[in-house]
A and B are shown apart, each in its own frame.
Chain A
Amino acid sequence: MKQLMSGNEAIARGAYEHGITFASAYPGTPSTEILEEFSRYDGVYAEWTPNEKVALEVGIGAALGGARALVVMKQVGVNVAADPLFTLSYTGTEGGLVIVSADDPSLHSSQNEQDSRNYAKAAKIPMLEPADSAEAKEFIKIAFRMSEEFDTPVFLRSTTRISHSKSIVTLEDREIHEENRGVRYNPSKYVMVPAMARQRRIVVEKKMERLSKFAETFPENRMEINDTKIGIITAGMPYNYTKDVFPGYSYLKLGMVHPLPHDLIREFASKVERLYVVEELDPFIEEQIKAMGIDVIGREVFPYTGEFDPGVVETAITGNEAAVVNLPDLSLPQRPPNLCPGCPHRGLFYVLGKLKVFVAGDIGCYTLAFMKPLEGMHSTICMGASVGMAHGMDKVIGGKEKVVGVIGDSTFIHSGITPLLNMAYNKSNSVIIICDNRTTAMTGMQENPATGFTLHGKETKALDFVKLAEALGMDNVRVVDPFDMKNTRSVIKEELSTEGPSLVISSAPCALLAVKQKLPGKTPLRVNPDKCTGCKACLGLGCPPISWKRFEDMDIKIEKKTKKQEGIAFIDSSLCNGCTLCQQLCSAGAIEEVVEDE
């Protein structure tokens, strides 16, 4: 059966068809749907782990127990998992282990544009890279076969365009491959103390040598010889961009990007007159080919940053721009994503913005609060950084003013617990706020250890932040409802003037979660035009349904309440969630509930 599938769906399907029954991951765009899709197949076990390091270690354990294990993460997740990764290539993987890393050229939803291929090289792990969904489904199977044959972890690299594009895939039946599950005692292979790691170090080099030979005849490293004036060496999605504009050129399409097939590359280079490497992000293939002494054109014509498309490739190779209509620059208003109506983060960040404190931020929906008009966050580096950064700043400016760190529930569990322990241990004087919206909202509402449910929807232990904080040595722990801005403000102010480190838990469910769980909705609000004084206080929330209308742009006549009044606020009640934050700010009492029969 043929079906249109995203790369992520295809990876999940491929793993299922190959009989994989064990997978672990931490969510992260563009990789998240792989585990979600996989977990829906019958007879599989999949889990969200607190972070990528745990996901990989869980996978290593499963593989050592004889299972084939799939581990999934976004590109920056590999940084978190890097510690086990670099030694895993020494021990090997027994049952079979494949790590999917999804890169994000153009930073559609990431904090950096790093290229996972460098990890393959640095950690001495082979890496496959599919160019569409059909290949994604096939390559995940090949990756598992290679893992078993060479006793090595194998990377499958995706990019946003592979993960989130759909193309046609032929579904196949599931094949069950036997697994020899059980305990294995093999300390010389798995206890990586220096004496034994030194031995395994040699095994790794031998393995990479064998893999290099394997790459020479690997059928997915394939030559397509057409017009030999121009030859293209490429891999992954850029192959499609290039094929789209230059179907007649000759190609060496690499299905394996590490290690590279040197002889095959030489052979291809000798067949063509001009050689290009087409690859996004780092000149990974290009530099290796140049080091082989082969003349190849790459970065001198292709952009260093961002994802390509057929037009980018065409312009780089021919120098011609596509024919487009010449349009004047319109400088259009941007349309960035925004916190949803009824988002619990809005009240908290409104309060923080007004308190004029430095807020070390973190990654999640709440990061959007750095924008106008909330402007309640002043740094974001990586998951968990807020806690350590707030403490570090406090240590150097200590006494002058307190610093705040803000972190989401999933992010706190991912990598905020250890730095919070550090704050208690090293006698910090800063305030950390966990914005606990009971879900991992940013990536599409995944469960996490504080939500009380597993990926398979089973009820489980829910982490208690208050108890945890006490156990870590935090003496000042407060819980606030961010929809009550007055109390939120006074609690944060109190903690800002309290001696020692404090933890405030800002606790209220995500607005989308409430809809998903079909919690009873609140009554939407409207602005009473006869009471609104046009003071614009409500606009300070940056809430999507609230807008501002000038008198001259209105059809109806409204009486001015003050001489200077220029217009009134307006709430689109069909979008309003009735959270009442704007009502709390309206000193004119102009915001009221919509009456049903209106």
Chain B
Amino acid sequence: MNESVRSVLLVGVGGQGTIMASDILSAVMINAGFDVKKSEVHGMAQRGGSVSSHVRFGPKVYSPLAGKGDVSILVSFEKLETLRYLEYLKPDGKVIINNEEIYPPSVNLGEALYPGDAIDFIKNHFKDVKVVDATAMALRSGDKRMANTVILGVLSSCLDIEVDIWEDVLKESFPSKILEGNINAFSLGRGV
């Protein structure tokens, strides 16, 4: 793998704002002067399926997709989805997890169990794991839908990018009515 390029993989469930978060991250990295490529599969994401988005940045990026073992930071908006994408992480990769459970249909039907010890499992295999109660923190900023902005705040503290660049992009990304709440949510996340 090309060492000068870093990969962040954002994963979640359709409707959680995974793609929006990856758009914001990409814009930040462009403004910070990097070449950026980003890739996701749209398809039927809207219908509650599993969603993933690769963001790669560096002096020159060729592939918009990271390979297995190439991701420096796995950002997950849902616990079970984290497990699905762990094989993409570098052995010394970081994991940021929103402490939220969304049951897939088979669990709702009582045919499968939602993995109960996901966090322990991840911590057993990776050293740098941050679990964030993003939904609760978003509620404090006024709306639980801002959980993805809280998570972006957490992510920002793991990337060496000036906070002004993040805030400028947030300002361009949200309508003024919900901007303050999102800036707030972002700061809460950044402080974790």
Query: A residues engaging B (CB < 8 A)?
Result: 2, 4, 29-30, 108-109, 132, 160-161, 164-168, 239-241, 243-245, 247, 309-312, 314, 322-325, 327, 330, 332-340, 365, 368, 371-373, 442, 444, 512, 536, 539, 542, 544, 546-548, 550
Q: Which of A132, A245, A312 has a CB less than 8 Å from the CB of B1? A: A245
- The number of residue pairs between A and B whose CB atoms lie closer than 8 Å in the complex comes to 180
Is the pair A373, B46 in contact by a Cβ cutoff of 8 Å? Answer: no
- Pick the contact of A322 from B48, B70, B105 — CB < 8 Å? B70
Complex A-B: 25 CB contacts under 8 Å: A4-B36, A108-B41, A109-B41, A109-B42, A161-B39, A166-B26, A167-B36, A168-B30, A240-B63, A247-B2, A309-B65, A309-B66, A323-B69, A323-B91, A332-B115, A333-B80, A333-B112, A334-B104, A335-B50, A335-B84, A335-B105, A338-B105, A340-B47, A372-B109, A442-B44
Query: Across the interface, do B108 and A547 meet the contact criterion of CB distance under 8 Å?
Result: yes
Give the contacts of B100-115 with A (CB-CB under 8 A). Answer: 103-115
Contacts of A323 in B (CB 8 A): 69, 90-91
In the bound complex, residues from chain A placing their C-beta under 8 Å from that of B36 are 4, 166-168
Question: With A245-B1, A322-B68 known to touch, is A335 a contact of B13 (CB < 8 Å)?
Answer: yes
Residues of B within 8 A of A314 (CB): 1, 67
Which B residues are CB-close (under 8 A) to A4?
26-27, 30, 36, 38
Q: Are A161's CB and B1's CB within 8 A? A: no
Measured between beta carbons, the chain B residues less than 8 angstroms from A132 are 37, 64
Q: By the criterion CB–CB under 8 Å, are B70 and A310 in contact?
A: yes
Query: Which residues of B are at the interface with A, using a C-beta cutoff of 8 A?
Result: 1-2, 5, 13-14, 26-27, 30, 35-50, 61-70, 80-81, 83-84, 86-87, 89-91, 103-115, 121, 125-126
**Is there contact, CB below 8 Å, between A324 and B80?**
no
Complex CA gap A484/B177 in Å reads 40
Of B42, B63, B64, chain A has the most CB atoms within 10 Å of the CB of B63
Complex interface: chain B residues within 8 A of A546 (CB): 108
Chain A residues with Cβ under 8 A from B111's Cβ? 372
Given A165-B64, A335-B49, A330-B83 contact (CB < 8 Å): yes
Main secondary structure of the interface of A (DSSP, over half): loop
Looking at the assembled complex, report how far the CB atom of A150 sits from the nearest CB atom of chain B, in whole angstroms: 31
Chain A residues whose C-beta falls within 8 Å of the C-beta of B2 in the assembled complex? 244-245, 247, 310
User: Knowing that A166-B64, A365-B44, A539-B110 are A-B contacts, what are 20 other residue pairs whose CB atoms are under 8 Å apart, sorted by A's residue number?
Assistant: A108-B41, A132-B64, A161-B64, A165-B65, A166-B26, A167-B38, A245-B67, A309-B67, A309-B68, A310-B1, A310-B65, A322-B70, A333-B113, A335-B104, A338-B105, A372-B109, A539-B108, A539-B109, A547-B103, A548-B109
Which of B36, B61, B81, B108 has the most C-beta atoms of chain A within 10 angstroms of its own C-beta? B108
B133 to chain A, nearest CB (A): 18
A317 CB, nearest partner CB in chain B, Å: 13
Contact B50 A327 (CB under 8 A): no
Cβ-neighbour of B39 out of A164, A247, A312, A322 (below 8 A): A164
**CA of A161 to CA of B36, assembled, Å:** 15
* Known interface pairs A4-B30, A240-B62; A166-B48 also in contact (CB < 8 Å): no
Please measure, in the bound complex, the distance between the C-alpha atom of A544 and the C-alpha atom of B63, giving whole angstroms: 35
Q: Given that A164-B42, A373-B109, A544-B105 are contacting pairs, would A337 and B49 also be in contact in the complex, using a CB cutoff of 8 Å?
A: yes
The verdict on A165 contacting B47 (CB below 8 Å), with A335-B13, A539-B108, A547-B108 known, is no
Write out the residue numbers on chain A whose beta carbons fall within 8 Å of the beta carbon of B49. 335-338
Q: Is the CB of B126 within 8 A of A325?
A: yes
Contact call B1/A166, Cβ cutoff below 8 A? no
Chain A residue with the shortest CB-CB distance to B56 = A244
Given contacts A244-B63, A311-B67, contact A322 B108 (CB under 8 A): no
How many whole Å from B31's CB to the nearest CB in chain A? Answer: 11
4 A-B pairs with least C-beta separation: A311-B67, A337-B47, A322-B69, A337-B44
Residue on B nearest A569 in the bound complex, by CB: B108
CB of A365 within 8 A of CB of B89, answer: no
Give every chain A residue within 8 A of B91 (Cβ-Cβ). 323-325
Given A324-B91, A368-B47, A544-B48; A30-B109 close (CB under 8 Å): no
